[in-house]
Amino acid sequence: MSNTNISSSFLATIEIVTIQMTYYGPIILLTVGIFGCLCNFLTFTSRQLRENSCAFYFLCSAIFEFLSITFGLSTRLAADHFDYDLQNSNRIFCKFRAYYVSSIPLIATYFILLSAIDRYMSSSTDVYLRSFSKIKVAYRNVIIFIIIGLISCSHILILYDLRPKCATSTGIYAIFDSIFVVLWLGVIPHVLMLTFGFLTLTNIRRTRQRRIVKLQMMLVQIGLSSILSLTRMIYYTYYIHGPLFTGDHKVIGSFLMSLTTLLYYTNYVKSFYIYTLTSQLFRSIFIQRIHSCIQKRFESNTSIIMIV
């Protein structure tokens, strides 16, 4: 009897934690994430970084991170707590949201991969490889990867539907979808990021280069991104292919799904704070930009007062 009471108490606590987590979690991530993305925009559009290919990839990633969290988290919060669950009531929105929350974060992730490849190219002793670390090449690569990201997720528009909730087709497509999510959105980009990160370190040690300004930013970003994304991917695979949660296990399953979803979105919130902690150059440019904006604002107000 006591075991049953303890179990009931534990499950009640888990339910309360899940409700609070799904309410306050998205609000906190939206606030922190939007602020961080705006600060990234301010920094990476500075004169010092405007013509740098690696910084351009970081900027593009920040743009798609902003798009990911603002839409993904706001619609998740609205569905969970404000009785505005279009995802499970409107067929078109079901397809669109499923496509959006897959393709946009995917593109943001692959831009970080491009930054890792760019660092490898720029640190190479091969002149031909270094020629790919150029801003013109970066412009072209960004367009190509946006197209690849949008096309690669297009099957979602066809095979997601209300069943009765928004979900994939059953059977072989469910297997394909889980493999696609785990490999294309998770394993492949992060394995490649880690590979090029270590290759860059090897190049730097071999040639005794000292200019590793963006390497720390990139490596910490890659490491945390791998942990946060793969945690979600692993649980998603288990959720799709594992045994159905029944009875009391539904409460625990709901908690784990909510937790891993928040961890997944944390991956697209963290970049500004990683860059600030790991790069003195980033910090100094960010502070310069803030001072410049304040100064321009002050000069503008002064001129208005003088005119009046």
Asked if residues 259 and 20 have their Cβ atoms less than 8 Å apart, the reply is no
Query: Which range is least confidently modeled, 178-187, 235-244, 256-265?
Result: 235-244
Give the percent of the chain with pLDDT over 90: 51
Longest C-alpha distance within the chain, in Å?
81
pLDDT over threshold 50, residue 243: yes
pLDDT over threshold 90, residue 115: yes
- Delineate the domains of the chain, giving CATH numbers in brackets: 2-307 (1.20.1070.10)
* pLDDT tens per residue, range 133-186: 999 999 999 999 999 999 999 999 999 999 888 888 878 888 888 889 888 988
Q: Is 243 helix (H, G, I), strand (E, B) or coil?
A: coil
Asked if residues 274 and 224 have their Cβ atoms less than 8 Å apart, the reply is yes
Residue indicated by tokens 């003195």: 280
Q: What pLDDT does 212 receive?
A: 56
Distances (CA, A) of 146 to 128, 179, 269: 25, 21, 20
The predicted model scores a pTM of 0.88
* pLDDT tens per residue, range 244-256: 676 777 888 889 9
* pLDDT tens per residue, range 1-49: 444 445 788 888 999 999 999 999 999 999 999 999 999 999 999 988 9
More confident of the two residues 301 and 118: 118
Q: What pLDDT does 85 receive?
A: 83
DSSP per-residue codes, 79-97: HHHSS--GGGT-HHHHHHH
Phi, psi of 166 (to 5 degrees): -65, 115
> Which residues lie below 8 Å from residue 242, measured CB to CB, with a gap of 6+?
none
pLDDT band per the 50, 70, 90 thresholds, residue 55: very high
Mean pLDDT of 88-94: 92
